[in-house]
Amino acid sequence: MTLLAALLPGADPTPIPGLTGIVGQFFGYGLWILASAGAGGVGFGVYKLAIADKSRHQGGSEPFKWMGGGVAAMLLPGSLIAILNGIAG
């Protein structure tokens, strides 16, 4: 657990009501990592869009796939937290 905390500086997940102990802590860090990965995916998609060849002969949809996947990865932790808070509270 200390290695995970060292890799994620400032990561202090909010405790989910009814989900205590080590399971809750791992779940909180997992959701935090998933949200961070989503932000990275959106950023990489924006980067690929900026450097992409804008001609009609290239596959121009790849940056949008990265951005869409990143947005989905950011929405998933938020919805899971909302669902768990609704069940527990």
Tell me: the pLDDT tens digits for 19-45?
667 777 777 778 888 888 898 999 999
* Mean pLDDT, the chain, whole residue set: 77
Whole-angstrom Cα Rg for the chain: 17
Find tokens 């905390």 and name the residue.
Answer: 5
Of the candidates 50, 43, 49, 52, the residue with the CA atom closest to the CA atom of residue 70: 43
Specify the pLDDT at position 41. 92
Reported as a pLDDT band with limits 50, 70 and 90, residue 62 is confident
Nearest 10 degrees: Cα torsion 60, 68, 46, 43 = -150
What single letter denotes the amino acid at residue 72?
A
- pTM for the full predicted model: 0.66
CB of 13 closer than 8 Å to CB of 40: no
